[in-house]
Chains A and B, each alone.
Chain A
Amino acid sequence: MNIIETRQLEKSFGGIQAVDHLSISIQEGLITGLVGPNGSGKTTLINLLSGFYPHDSGKIFFSNTERKNIFPDENQIFNITRTFQQIRLFDQMNVLDNLLVVLTERNPFLALFERHNKYHINQAENILKRVDLFEKRFENALNLSYGQRKLLEIARVLAMNTNIILLDEPFAGLFPEVAKKIENIIKELRTEGKTIILIEHNMSVIRDLCDYLIVMDAGKLLAEGNPEKVLEKQVVLEAYLGE
């Protein structure tokens, strides 16, 4: 089932066409890789899907429902969550709080009267144990190592527990042990039936993880299909080498 579909999607920034008549569809329950040279529009696409800014023209569909005026706080309604290329955590708050804020009550009036809730704290601690951050739970996010910060981002994704997960370069700059942890978590998420879109540059990770591959270049769709086959295509190689 096409859980996400875009039709003739367009977005430009002051004359630069970041996404150009893009029509793609994402299958439910698969890990779809989104690759392409720098500046090909991958992050812009993720930003458009997650409501970070509105698209100029074209349509976006989630499970055949159109998402028109996109606001980021509607992500929960559309069952999407995402990470950022430059990790965005709440630096001056500790690990536990960074996670709790994802778990606690969204409604402001109810949130006013919600206090140290054992249920939420338990949930948070379990997730932290899953990503091996439990011991650091009272540490400020600022003081974590790069790898730990990436893990905290993943922890927040787990806490959101949405059907669709957009990951923007989750493996960038990681040591193998941490990368392996994240890889395993992503595989677990697929087993749970989640749909994952993964922006990545690391080819071996892509071959390992992705069920489907979409290649972008200069905002357009360049190629798509089975990862092995796509990566052998002439146009794809040229796009990467030519840059």
Chain B
Amino acid sequence: MIEYIFHILIIVSIYGILALAQNLIMGNTGLLSVAGAAFYGIGAYITAIFVTKLGFNIMTMLIIAPIITGFIALLVGITFARFRDDYFMLATLGFLMIFHTVVRNWETVTGGSYGIVGIAKPSIFGFSLSSPNTFIYFAIIILLLATAICYFISRSSFGRVLNSIREDEDALKIFGYKTSTYKLIVFVISASLASLGGVLFASYITFIDSNLFTINESILLWAIIILGGIAKNRGALLGALFLIAIPEALRFIGFPNEVAGLMRQCIYGLLLVIFMLYRPKGILGTYKI
């Protein structure tokens, strides 16, 4: 039983990291990004590939995955950061689709639609982290790291500029700010953080395939940060706790698995609609878009 609670907390931590990352680009900067799931997936796939095929260990992945993902985000972002809002969203949507196409077609590397299995369970200094009781500490440490990074950013002048971009980007430019550079940087940081979630996921669940990183994950991230309240780090964390832990606990009520998943998806979608209609600030939030 305790192990199950740890399991839930691990998933909550992973989504907490993803939500913090999504919040940086969406809540603070006001850019609607569908690509959250893509960078999450890229982090997971990089981990899976490097660990199974090259024998790397998870601790190194914590460094390698964000770097590679960040680099991809840089290449992609250089084009996207200049786009206006709606077009930025479309571009990130296209990027997510491309991610799927690449993963499905590059079979030799990504295992195509079968995914990758048998990712080695993580261990630090020979101490195995394979069970939820031990992995939880690892997950929470990474979560705290991600939280610290996000707080660092929000408290800096950079963070203030991000919020101003959300409020009125054109007016901000008048004061001498090259806003597209800011957007590019936050896009890269957000992608790298999201990939950390992927590293955790791949090494915990030990098998992945592309169906785990679809637009529904991105929508879930939106629901998490909007529920919790955008632009607030603790909103992202609260939203993750709420939207992940509660449905997991409800599993005991006994819906068959596939239906449970679809039921949750339906609820996330409706939540978004309801919040947009009646409470765009979310629960903890002070900002609305």
Chains A and B in contact, CB within 8 Å: yes
A residues apposed to B, CB below 8 Å? 50-52, 71-77, 81-82, 84, 88-93, 97, 100-102, 104-106, 108-109, 111-117, 156, 160
- Count A/B pairs, Cβ under 8 Å: 91
Q: A92-B167, A92-B287, A101-B164 are in contact. Are A112 and B156 (CB under 8 A)?
A: yes
Chain B's closest residue to A72 (CB) is B173
Cβ–Cβ < 8 Å partners of B160 in chain A: 93, 97, 100-101, 104
List, in ascending order, chain B residues with CB within 8 A of A71's CB.
173
Taking the nearest CB of chain B, how far is it from the CB of A159, in angstroms? 9
Q: Which chain B residues lie closer than 8 Å to A89 at the CB level?
A: 168, 171
Please report the C-alpha to C-alpha distance between residue A156 and residue B167 in the assembled complex, in whole angstroms: 16
B175 touches A156 (CB 8 A): yes
- Please measure, in the bound complex, the distance between the C-alpha atom of A74 and the C-alpha atom of B174, giving whole angstroms: 8
Known contacts A93-B163, A108-B182; A81/B157 CB under 8 A: no
In contact, B157 and A90 (Cβ under 8 angstroms): no
Q: Is the C-beta of B62 less than 8 angstroms from some C-beta in chain A?
A: no
Provide the residues of chain A in CB contact with B182, threshold 8 Å.
Answer: 108
Query: By the criterion CB–CB under 8 Å, are B164 and A90 in contact?
Result: yes
Contacts of B168 in A (CB 8 A): 88-90
The reply on B284 being an interface residue by CB < 8 A is no
Contact A108 B158 (CB under 8 A): yes
B178 within 8 A of partner (CB): yes
**Shortest distance from the beta carbon of A186 to any chain B beta carbon, whole Å:** 19
Please determine whether B286 and A92 come into contact, CB atoms closer than 8 angstroms.
yes
Residues of the A chain whose Cβ atoms lie less than 8 Å from the Cβ of B57: none
Q: Can you report 30 A-B residue pairs in the complex whose CB atoms are below 8 A from each other?
A: A71-B173, A72-B170, A72-B173, A73-B174, A73-B176, A76-B175, A77-B176, A81-B175, A90-B163, A92-B163, A101-B157, A101-B161, A101-B164, A101-B172, A104-B161, A105-B157, A106-B176, A106-B177, A108-B158, A108-B161, A108-B178, A108-B181, A108-B182, A111-B156, A112-B153, A113-B156, A114-B157, A115-B155, A115-B157, A116-B155
Interface residues of B in 95-136 (CB under 8 A from A): none
Give bound CA distance, A156 to B161, whole Å: 15
Chain B residues positioned under 8 Å from A114 (CB to CB): 156-158
Where chain A touches its partner, the secondary structure class is loop
Which single member of B156, B157, B167, B173 contacts A73 (CB below 8 Å)?
A: B173
Contact A75 B171 (CB under 8 A): no
Which residue on chain B has the smallest CB distance to residue A83? B174
Q: Given the complex of chains A and B, what is the CA–CA distance between A90 and B160 in angstroms?
A: 11
Nearest neighbor of B289 in chain A, beta-carbon distance:
A92
B179 CB–A CB distance under 8 Å: yes
Tell me which residues across on chain A come within 8 A of B161, comparing CB atoms: 101, 104, 108, 111
With an 8 A cutoff between CB atoms, is B89 at the interface?
A: no
A75 proximity list for chain B (CB < 8 A): 174-176
Given contacts A73-B174, A108-B178, A112-B157, 13 further A-B contacts (CB under 8 A): A75-B176, A89-B168, A90-B163, A90-B171, A90-B172, A93-B167, A100-B160, A104-B160, A108-B185, A114-B158, A115-B155, A115-B157, A156-B175
Q: Mark interface residues in B178-206 (1 if CB within 8 Å of A CB, else 0).
A: 11011001000000000000000000000
CA distance A89 to B174 in the complex (A): 12
**In the bound complex, CA of A75 to CA of B171 (Å):** 12
A72→B173 CA distance, assembly (Å): 6
B17, chain A: closest CB distance, angstroms: 20
Closest 9 CB pairs of A and B: A76-B176, A90-B167, A72-B173, A104-B157, A88-B171, A111-B158, A114-B157, A111-B157, A112-B158
